[in-house]
Structure 1
């Protein structure tokens, strides 16, 4: 058995979804800022490790990769957090569209019923 929806419930759901979308903009922005900072820190650490390696030129890249494993992990975690927030934001937009479609159907049903 499904729940019976009325226009007031649907409007509340639409409002709630819209509020979550607005909050998601801030969350996505914060996550992307975190990613950019982590990416810059990784790039700087890599460059520093590359230039500091005293061995032959062909070893510099590999030495820098090994020296920056932690920074790369932080950068990758920040990327995952941003992508998750972005996917959540897109899912909320789809949820809003679904609620708008339900709203249109319920309005139509009420108009046919003469309410």
Structure 2
């Protein structure tokens, strides 16, 4: 498999994470804690999305991690808008948006630089 090419299993893994994520994260919410810190499945799914189509080498994976975390913490527009969705959907959606934006940025850099 050429560098940067993802296996079909990786796509299935991401799709599964996205499908069960709202339920998994939503099951941890309460009226007093609508976005519990112990809900981390959203970060896992968002990070996997950030890695799509990139070489699976330490420098690219480190760049994906750093960019994803920056986007997840700062939540620039439009990422912040997605966390307003109810329950587990809001918990997941902002991280998925950060993952998509991170993947787009890094893939653009990768394609232009190589």
Structure 2 length as normaliser, TM-score?
0.31
Of the two, which has the highest radius of gyration?
A: 1
Compare the two structures and name the one with the higher helix fraction. 1
Structure 1 length as normaliser, TM-score?
0.31
Higher relative contact order (CA 8 A, sep 6+): 1
